[in-house]
Structure 1
Amino acid sequence: MLLRVTDLKKSYAGADGPVPVLRGIDMQVEAGQTVALTGESGSGKSTLLHLIGGLDTADEGKIILEGREISRMNDAGRAAVRRSSVGIIFQQFNLIPSLDVAANIAFQARLAGSYNTSEANALAASLGLTEHLRKYPEQLSGGQQQRVAIARALAAKPKLILADEPTGNLDEATAGEVMAQMLALVSQTGAALVMVTHSPRLATQMERQLHLSKGMLA
């Protein structure tokens, strides 16, 4: 089992006291598995993804990734796990504007000490980015920027990819193309993928679908 989440709870401070977001999440993800996480806006999908990725801390519960309980780690420990084992793809792309496409793709892999030029170039080629490697993010379309974000996440060879509405800012045709490319590459690398999406059509392309409602998984 690659990922195990047990009785995960998270609340945020509200004007009248704590507001529960996650009320006891249990889930498991096997190596190489693809999982869609659906639910209404505000149901806690992004919160759950951020907790799994070590970007935030839970109030209660356990998150165990590759046998390591990241829910008990400090900031430095969680950051080390992200560098070595987790790739994150955001809806807003989160590319570094001062770096060109090639440097953006290399960024996470260099942090992880796993950068390989030929593999990065092959990733870029498979995503149609070869002719854009010396361009900067502002010179790219939204679809091209998201492809760079996907390449950056995969270049570090993570065991787990977390994608938060990765096609949410793209038109339907571009979203379909980017999604197909991402799933093909994830399959080739053997990484597991947990993806937040509002799209039933995209969710059905994943091996499993989990629905989050009122802080609980169904």
Structure 2
Amino acid sequence: MFHAASRTGREHRTTTVPAASTLAVLHAVSKTFGSGDTAVRALAAFDLTIAAGELLVVLGPSGSGKTTLLNVLGGIEAPTCGAISIDGRALTGLDAKGLSALRRESLSFVYQFFNLVPTLTAYENIAVLAELTGGSVRSRVDAVLAEVGLADCANRFPAQLSGGQQQRVAIARALVNRPRLLLCDEPTGALDLDTGRSVLTLLQDLCHRDDRAVVLVTHNQAIAAIADRVLRMCSGHIVEDVHQTTPLAASEVSW
């Protein structure tokens, strides 16, 4: 539940959430690429707990480990050591089939570039994933298109959509399996300010529905203002972890 409060002429959003439940845990996670003198340690003994209903923004310079963090959380990269659990299920040690099942059931990705199939309509781009996860495809695709405000764009091809609309289709595709955890890598990086605001507003609202969490990686320092929690990384370490009680409404963010 949210309450809007005005401070110094700007709209802020105060989060009123019941006691948070733990959704994801990383314990002593390290990730090293290469070996010997050329080894690069992207994550170093990394500990992190993510709560349901939390919008977590992760900041840091290039090479700080932000994308590696998303990849190990999503099972794209296996950690060199340490343990990860998502929604009460151990991620480390799962085989390819187990990882695929976990991704279908508990988490989804949103990227900077929309990765839509140009020869498929918005509906079809989402339906491809919906068909992998079972249930009524049409009702689920229609529901997520409505959720992102694109119910009237189902039959349009990506080239017939604006950049913001394409990103909304990508978010709808990520939502069709009703994930508890949404992992976003620079989701506004290819968008202008107004379009970026609309996408951030959607993500800000989504993270507090159905006990969902959103982890948003970005280079854009301004986006930190909308977060419930801000994590700053450097050289694979957490250097700052701040909880914000009055995050800025995404419609008010500026860069």
Whether these two folds match at TM > 0.5 is yes
Of 148, 163, 179, 1:158 maps to 179
Q: Which residue of 2 aligns with 1:56?
A: 77
- Residues 131 and 20 of structure 1, relative CA distance in 2, 3 Å threshold: same
- Residues 73 and 22 of structure 1, relative CA distance in 2, 3 Å threshold: same
Q: Which residue of 2 aligns with 1:142?
A: 163
Q: Contact (CA 8 Å) 2:130, 2:141: kept in 1 or not?
A: no
Q: Note the C-alpha offset of 1:67.
A: 2.1
Q: Contact (CA 8 Å) 1:114, 1:157: kept in 2 or not?
A: no
Residues 3-22 of structure 1 aligned to structure 2 (within 5 Å): 3-13=24-34, 16-22=37-43
* Unaligned ranges ≥5, structure 1: none
Does 2:244 correspond to 1:184?
no
Structure 2: distance between partners of 1:182 and 1:117:
23
Query: What is the aligned residue count?
Result: 218
Q: Note the C-alpha offset of 1:16.
A: 3.9
Q: Which residue of 1 aligns with 2:53?
A: 32
> Which AA in structure 1 matches 2:191?
L
Q: Contact (CA 8 Å) 2:203, 2:214: kept in 1 or not?
A: no
> Which AA in structure 2 matches 1:82?
R
Structure 2: distance between partners of 1:113 and 1:68:
21
> Which AA in structure 1 matches 2:238?
L
Q: Contact (CA 8 Å) 1:10, 1:60: kept in 2 or not?
A: yes
Q: Contact (CA 8 Å) 1:115, 1:155: kept in 2 or not?
A: no
SS of 2:75's partner is coil
Of 108, 112, 130, 2:151 maps to 130
Q: Deviations over 1:62-84 (max 9, x none)?
A: 11112221111122211110011
Structure 1: distance between partners of 2:174 and 2:136:
12
Residues 55-94 of structure 1 aligned to structure 2 (within 5 Å): 55-94=76-115
Identical pairs, percent? 39
Q: Note the C-alpha offset of 1:114.
A: 4.4
TM-score (norm 2): 0.80
SS of 1:55's partner is coil
Structure 2: distance between partners of 1:146 and 1:49:
19
Structure 2: distance between partners of 1:202 and 1:211:
13
Structure 1: distance between partners of 2:221 and 2:102:
31
Q: Deviations over 1:34-66 (max 9, x none)?
A: 111111111110111011001111111111112
Q: Which residue of 2 aligns with 1:175?
A: 196
Structure 2: distance between partners of 1:15 and 1:170:
40
Q: Which residue of 1 aligns with 2:220?
A: 199
* Unaligned ranges ≥5, structure 2: 1-21, 240-255
Q: Contact (CA 8 Å) 2:33, 2:40: kept in 1 or not?
A: yes
